[in-house]
Amino acid sequence: MFYDEVMTAVRYIREHVACRPRTAVILGSGLGSIADQLEDRELLPYADIPGFPKSDVSGHAARFVFGTLNGRPIVAMQGRFHYYEGLSMCRLSLPIYVLKQLGVEKIVVTNACGGINPAFSPGDLMLITDHINFAGNNPLIGSNDERFGPRFPDMTEVYDPSLNDLARRAAGSLSIPLREGVYAFFTGPCYETAAEIRAYHILGADAIGMSTVPEAIAANYLGMKVLGIACITNMATGIAKTPHSHEEVLAIASASSRVFCRLLERILFEMAE
């Protein structure tokens, strides 16, 4: 049973890690450096955890980093799992269930993504106010275990308004521009066509990427408060003037990481209060 798999992973982590955080952050492609700022770090590779999927995506260290940030206990997912790796939606969201059972109450999901809104530019940070799931699939499909959450969870406010306000205040205090918009989830691994981008723009998407939404859905279902922040690493197909590459995504994410880390550090400090 899925519940038993989750609890097996939880027991393993508790046996190997002393930290007991209530706040977590998922670090997207090229954005893993915030984990290096944690003190009293305890590293746990995903490959060591019973039942965890395997991932080999470039730019993802594929491990948990437990530690403290300004004295507050934090756990960072330095890398994540993706639908395009051939995993089921339920399987790729397994870490979210595990984090919940470990006591995490608030989670920040970050990503590197493509900009659809013509007002955006590579390097911009975007507060995710809502999302559109274009995958035709959902991590909650299948039998429901009431020990996790309700059969029909509400998705009115997947991205918690109070955390959104906290992020806005943090960005303002640091004089960091923070865009806002709707994030569209595309399965990948190919980049979108120009026609698809035109359609998604008409439907209200401001940015598009290959992650985040399954995790946010699962976290909301589990009763966790979710904050989503995207780093615009490229303009989407038909808007960009050159072909896409993962190397380009990593380069822009790396260039933006210093500002992103400053913002995340302030947000995580406030969330852990």
* Residues known to be catalytic: 29, 60, 82, 84-85, 112, 210-211, 234, 246
Give me the residue label for tokens 């490229």.
234
104: tokens are: 């995490």
Cα-only R_g, the chain: 17
Half-sphere exposure (CA, 13 Å, Cβ side) for 125?
27
Question: 188 burial class (0-12, 13-18, 19+ CB within 10 angstroms)?
Answer: middle
Which residue carries 């977590």 as its tokens?
24
Of 260, 211, 227, 248, the closest CA to residue 33 belongs to 260
List residues bridging with 74 in a β-sheet.
67
Q: How far apart, in whole angstroms, are the C-alpha atoms of residue 164 and residue 5?
A: 32
Q: What is the DSSP letter of 83?
A: G
Distance CA 38, CA 70 (A): 8
Closest CA to 47 of 55, 37, 58, 57: 55
